[in-house]
Chain A
Amino acid sequence: MILWRLTKVALKWWVVTFVIGDDWRVAARIAVALLATWGLVEAGVAAWWLLPVAVLYATVRSLHRSVVQER
C-alpha cells in the first residue's frame, strides 16, 4: 500500500515536472506533431521540417498566452 502511494506520488511528480510543466498545451501540441510526423514518414513523405515548425508554433502560442495572462 505504501509502495503504491509512493509510486503514485513519484509518477505524478515526474509527469508534472517533465511533461506538463507550466503549460500542458505545449506537450499536447508536440504529441500531435510527433503523431503527424510518424504518419508522414509512414506515407513516404519527407517530414524532417514538421517537428521544428511545431516547436516554433507551440513556443510562440505558449509565450503569447503567458504575456496575455500577465496583463
Chain B
Amino acid sequence: MNVSVFVSTFLAASIEVIEMVAIIVAVGVTRQWRGALAGTFAGLVVLAILIAALGAALQSVPLTLLRLVVGALLLVFGLQWLRKGVLRVSRDGWATGIGEQQVEEDVGDGFDWTGFILAFRGVSLEGLEVAVIVVAFGAAAHAIASAAVAAAASVLLIGSLGLASYRLVARIPRRALQLFVGALLTTFGTFWAGEGLRVDWPGNDLSLLWLGAGYVATALVLVRVVSDWRGSARRPTPQPAAAGVSR
C-alpha cells in the first residue's frame, strides 16, 4: 500500500464524492427515492462500462466539455427549483400545511424520470472525475491499487454519512427544502459550468462554499422581497375622488 497515494487520492476523491452524495440525497428527499436510486445505479453501471472500456485512457476524456454541458443544464434546472421555492415560501411561509401538495405536483405516483436523470448526471460526471483522479494519482506513482482502494473508501465513508443524514434532511418542510436544493443545484451548476469555461474560481473547490452561502442568502432575501411585491400588489390604490375629499 502506497500511503501518500492513498491519502492524496482519498482527499481529492472525497470532494467529488461529497458533491455526488449531496445531489443524490437532495433529489431523493425532495422528489422520489426510487428515481434517485435508479439514476445512481444507472450512473454507476455506465461508469463501470466506461472504466472497463477505456482503462488508463480515461485521462483523455474531455472533462472540461462534460463539466460545461452538465453544469449548464444543472444551473438552469436548479434555478427553476430556486425560483419555485422562493415563490412558494413567500406565498405560504416556511412551515408545512397549505400549499404542501403543490411541491410534489410534478412527481406523481409513477416513476420519477426527472429525479432519475438528475441523479444519473451527478453520479456519472462525479464518478468519472473520481475515476480520472484514481488513474492520474495511481498511474503517476505506479500504485493504481492504492488509489482505487482510497476512492472506494471515500465512497463508502461519505455514502454512509449521506445515508445517515437523509432522515435529518427529510424533516425539513418540503417547500423550504425545494428552495435549499434549488440553491444547491444552482451552486454546483454555476461551479461546473464555470470550470467547463476554464474560469479561475477564487479558492478553487472552496468556492462551492461561498457560492452556496451566497445563493442561500440571496434566496432568503428574495423571499422577503417577493412577499413585499405581493403585499404592495394587494394594497388598494387610492381613488382620485377619495384623494380630493382628504384635501
Inter-subunit contact A30/B84 (CB<8 Å): no
Assuming A55-B79, A66-B87, A67-B226, what are 13 further A-B pairs, CB within 8 angstroms? A26-B80, A30-B79, A34-B197, A41-B197, A48-B194, A48-B202, A55-B186, A55-B215, A58-B79, A59-B79, A59-B86, A63-B222, A67-B230
| Proximity string of chain B (191-208) to chain A, C-beta cutoff 8 Å, 1 when within and 0 when not | 001100111111000010
Residue contacts A-B, CB under 8 angstroms, 28 given: A18-B77, A19-B76, A21-B76, A21-B77, A21-B80, A26-B79, A26-B80, A26-B83, A34-B72, A37-B194, A37-B197, A37-B199, A41-B197, A48-B194, A51-B190, A52-B190, A55-B75, A55-B79, A55-B215, A59-B79, A59-B82, A59-B83, A60-B225, A63-B225, A63-B226, A63-B229, A67-B226, A71-B233
Bound form: Cα–Cα A39–B64 in Å:
16
Kindly state whether residue B117 has any CB partner on chain A within 8 Å: yes
Kindly state whether residue B12 has any CB partner on chain A within 8 Å: no
Report the minimum CB–CB distance from A51 to chain B (whole Å): 5
| Proximity string of chain A (38-55) to chain B, C-beta cutoff 8 Å, 1 when within and 0 when not | 100100001110011001
Q: How many residues of A contact B (CB 8 A)?
A: 33
Interfacial chain A residues near B199, Cβ < 8 Å: 37, 41, 47-48, 51
Kindly state whether residue B153 has any CB partner on chain A within 8 Å: no
Bound form: Cα–Cα A46–B82 in Å:
27
Report the minimum CB–CB distance from A47 to chain B (whole Å): 6
Interfacial chain A residues near B214, Cβ < 8 Å: 52
- Interface size range on B against A: 35 or more
Kindly state whether residue B114 has any CB partner on chain A within 8 Å: yes
Inter-subunit contact B86/A63 (CB<8 Å): yes
Interfacial chain A residues near B79, Cβ < 8 Å: 26, 30, 55, 58-59, 62
Kindly state whether residue B218 has any CB partner on chain A within 8 Å: yes
Report the minimum CB–CB distance from B63 to chain A (whole Å): 17
Bound form: Cα–Cα A29–B188 in Å:
18
Inter-subunit contact B76/A63 (CB<8 Å): no
Interfacial chain B residues near A41, Cβ < 8 Å: 197-199
Residue of B at shortest CB range from A24? B76
| Proximity string of chain B (128-148) to chain A, C-beta cutoff 8 Å, 1 when within and 0 when not | 000000000000000000000
Report the minimum CB–CB distance from A23 to chain B (whole Å): 7
Kindly state whether residue B211 has any CB partner on chain A within 8 Å: yes
Bound form: Cα–Cα A48–B68 in Å:
14
Inter-subunit contact B76/A30 (CB<8 Å): yes
| Proximity string of chain A (1-45) to chain B, C-beta cutoff 8 Å, 1 when within and 0 when not | 000000000000110011101110011001100100110010000
Chain B residues 6 to 46 lying within 8 A of chain A, measured CB to CB, are none
Interfacial chain B residues near A66, Cβ < 8 Å: 83, 87
Inter-subunit contact B200/A56 (CB<8 Å): no
Bound form: Cα–Cα A64–B168 in Å:
33
Interfacial chain A residues near B76, Cβ < 8 Å: 18-19, 21, 26-27, 30
